[in-house]
Amino acid sequence: MSLAAMVRENTLRETITDERMYQAGLLQIVTKMRAEKRRSFEELFAEVQGKLRLHPAGFRSYVNANMNTVMATVKKSGSSRG
């Protein structure tokens, strides 16, 4: 096994795969999207994923499965400000 493969495998072992943490990460993304409208979704996703040490593929899958809810929440908050 190459050094790069060993580092990648070790990094994935140190990431969190708990669905409750995915929920917390998703809430952070929604909160940041409301407050920081100039930042891209991908930038916010990467920041939260790294900060919470969430498993990249698992968190991406969770967010994608809940994207309709995320967008509805963000749009709802924007329209209520008037």
pLDDT in tens, 30-81: 999 989 889 999 999 999 999 999 999 999 999 999 999 888 877 776 544 4
Cα 58 from chain centroid (whole Å) = 10
Rounded CA separation 62/31 (Å)? 17
- Count how many domains the chain has: 1
Task: Please tell me the pTM assigned to this model.
Answer: 0.72
SS3 18: coil
Domain ranges, residue 16: 3-79
Lookup: tokens for 25: 């990460």
User: What CA–CA distance (Å, rounded) separates 27 from 45?
Assistant: 11
Q: How confident is the model at residue 15 (pLDDT cuts 50, 70, 90)?
A: confident
Longest dimension (CA), the chain: 57
The confidence band for 6, taking pLDDT boundaries of 50, 70 and 90, is low
Q: How far apart are CA 24 and CA 33, in angstroms?
A: 14
Which amino acid appears at position 14 of this protein?
E
pLDDT at 1 over 80: no
